Amino acid sequence: MIRFFRHYLPLNVVLLVLIEFALFTGALHVGTWLRFHQAGEDAALVRLPLTAQSVAFSGVMVTVMMALGLYDYWGWEEGIRGMTLRLGASFVVGFIAMSLIFYVAPQLFLGRGAFALSFLAAMIGVTGTRILFFRWSDLDILKRRVLVLGTGSRAAKIGLLLKSGSAAARGLSIVGYLPLKGVHHYVDAGQILPDKAPLPAIVEKYKIDEIILSVRERRGGGLPMQELLDCKLLGVEIVELSTFFERQTGRLQLESLSAAWMVLSEGFRSGLAREIVKRTFDLCAALALLVVALPIMALTALAIALESGAPILYRQERVGQDGHVFDVLKFRSMRVDAERDGKPRWAAQGDARITRVGRLIRKARIDELPQIFNVLRGDMSLVGPRPERPFFVQALAREIPYYGCRHALKPGITGWAQIRADYGASVEESLEKLQYDLYYVKNHSFFLDLMILFQTAQVVLSGKGAR
Residue 287, pLDDT score: 95
Residue 263 CB contacts under 8 Å (≥ 6 apart), including other chains: none
Q: What is the pLDDT of residues 425-458, one digit of tens each?
A: 677 888 889 999 999 999 999 999 998 998 887 7
pLDDT on residue 428: 80
Distance separating alpha carbons of residues 340 and 221, to the nearest angstrom = 61
Q: In whole angstroms, what is the distance from residue 199 CA to residue 94 CA?
A: 53
Topology of the domain comprising 140-249: Rossmann fold (3.40.50)
Distance CA(423)–CA(201), nearest Å, equals 48
- What is the value of pTM for the model shown? 0.83
Q: What is the pLDDT of residue 339?
A: 67
Domain ranges of the chain: 2-136, 140-249, 272-338+345-462
Consecutive sets of 10 residues in the chain, 467 residues long: mean pLDDT of each? 80 87 90 71 52 87 87 65 82 90 83 86 90 74 86 86 71 87 79 90 94 76 85 93 89 84 82 90 94 93 89 91 93 78 66 84 88 95 93 89 91 90 74 91 91 82 57
Q: Is the peptide bond before 194 cis (omega within 30 degrees of 0)?
A: no
* pLDDT of amino acid 34: 81
Beta strand 7-9 with 144-149: parallel, antiparallel or unpaired?
unpaired
pLDDT for the residue 44: 47
H helix count then E strand count, the chain:
17, 10
Question: Within a 10 A sphere around the Cβ of 293, how many other Cβ atoms?
Answer: 16
Distance from C-alpha of 199 to C-alpha of 226, rounded to nearest angstrom? 10
Distances 15 to 9, 11, 63, 425 between C-alpha atoms, Å: 10, 6, 15, 37
